Structure 1
Amino acid sequence: MRLVHEPATDADDEVFDQRTNAVATNVDLADSLVSQARGLMFRRSIPDDYALAFRFDSAAVRDLHMLFVCFPIDAVWVVDGVVERVERLRPWRSFARARADLIVELPAGAAADVEPGDRLKLEDE
């Protein structure tokens, strides 16, 4: 599975840019209550091409904390494929919340080009 980013484009632009790129090619799904509760806690690091994705049945306000996470991450909240929020979270200290039906945790810097209004989707390879 991979995570694909499609930048938002301005419909008034003469050149309609349909570029997509893989933000992560090594994606794990946190699909159980235990894996969702654990998240990235207690890991020493994650690979540069890694993402941990949390999928939910419906959009709601979702929280992330960084307790017991030893490295910074980029977190992205997505609703219906559209990015709602992107935040760099610091180890041990950060807490953030936003509305989402998909949350993705990435290595710090991996979501540098991702902005609210862009599209993110998980694809089977």
Structure 2
Amino acid sequence: MSNHRIYTMSLASVYPLYISKAEKKGRTKSEVDEIICWLTGYTQEELEEQLKRQTDFETFFKYAPLPNPSRTLIKGVICGVRVEDIKEPTMQEIRYLDKLIDELAKGKAMDKILREK
């Protein structure tokens, strides 16, 4: 899938997959929301509005109110690529989110996922 197709996909189209992945492993929708809000700076209400609007990934990340500076601490491989080596900023943000959801589904503690010491 080309980067352009990923960028133009709405967050709302992928969001249920994030929830499903988390819930299959005993995690919750609220934890998924917490991760997204931590990463981007959106409030819960703002996140819900972005989902309702069917905002595409590129716009969602471009207008994120307060991208968390600790997101650069996210390291590792997702979809066969090291997230810290991704050069294109929007793709890196998308993969940061994918990585955090993956960590949630693997049972990692929230304080570790959110890079809190």
Q: TM-score, normalised by structure 1?
A: 0.26
Structure with the higher fraction of residues in helix conformation: 2
Structure with max Cα Rg: 1
Structure with the higher fraction of residues in strand conformation: 1
